[in-house]
Amino acid sequence: MSQQQQTLEGRVALVTGASQGIGLAIAQQLAARGVRVVMLARSKDKLDQAAAAIGDTAIAIPTDVGDPDAVRSAFKMVADTFGRLDILVNNAAIGYLGKVENLTDEAIASHMNTNVSGMVYCCREAIALLKQSDCADIINLSSDSVSDPFPYLTLYATTKGAVEVFTKALRRELKPDRIRVTLMRPGPTVTGFAETWDQELAAEAFQVWQAAGYLHTGGDGGGAMDTDTVANTVVFIVSQAAATYIEFVEVRPH
């Protein structure tokens, strides 16, 4: 192993949105390297199945990260079970499709609660445990929609912009505590993100995106990555020696 990398064996990680997609891939890749993984997501059945497939090194805690009491309970379970936490990956996010003028109160609140408040709640509860680690990491996942926001996904891009500002400020706040805080901005990735979109509205949105040239082609952003590409980047970040600090990573398909 390189002197710039360290083993992950025996470390404890918590991953949100871990029942599917990027979050599940991150949990799988960490567990494969000997990390004990706590998996959070709202869907109990799907989460339990995902954790069971990983094996004994994974623990499922059904949690709505937008509920502060649920987050407190989840982190208390982590403290009671392991007495430590080394890695927090804030991946949980939702992205409803729609024009701003048609957004419901529920859609606005859900975006803010899951994508922003949920991240803050998890960081707040994690910090005391992370301070006890000899190499602690927080990784907050943003989106390339911050640098290239699409209409019909305005609210999603806005919440991810908030993730980026929060992450930068938190990094400065936690630097004296030697807790590494990394912002990760994945490009297009094959997930189930769009599965719940209304098909008629999605067709309308794609027509607008295509006409305006938002759907890039070629090596500057065409295609999409698989979830393991993103997960392996997370593994790379947390494997760095304690003296190495990775502030920002953007991963895009070639």
Alpha carbon of 208 to those of 153, 155, 163, 197, 220: distances in Å? 12, 17, 27, 16, 20
**Hey, what are 254's tokens?**
């070639």
What distance in Å separates the CA atoms of residue 65 and residue 14, rounded to the nearest whole number? Answer: 12
By the 10 Å C-beta count (0-12 exposed, 13-18 middle, 19+ buried), 93 is classed as buried
**How far, in Å, CA of 252 to CA of 230, rounded?**
9
* Positions in the chain short of pLDDT 50: 1, 217-221
What is the DSSP secondary structure assignment for residue 97, as one 8-state letter? -
Joined together, the tokens standing for residue 212 give 């305006």
- Best CA proximity match to 39, nearest among 57, 30, 49, 51: 51
Question: Active-site residue 156, yes or no?
Answer: yes
User: For the chain, which domains are there?
Assistant: 12-251 (3.40.50.720)
Tell me, what's the pLDDT at 223?
75
| Interatomic CA distance for residues 24 and 19, integer angstroms | 5
Q: Which member of 152, 156, 214, 245 is catalytic?
A: 156
What angle do the packed helices 118-130 and 68-82 form, to 10 degrees?
20
The whole-number pLDDT of residue 222 equals 53
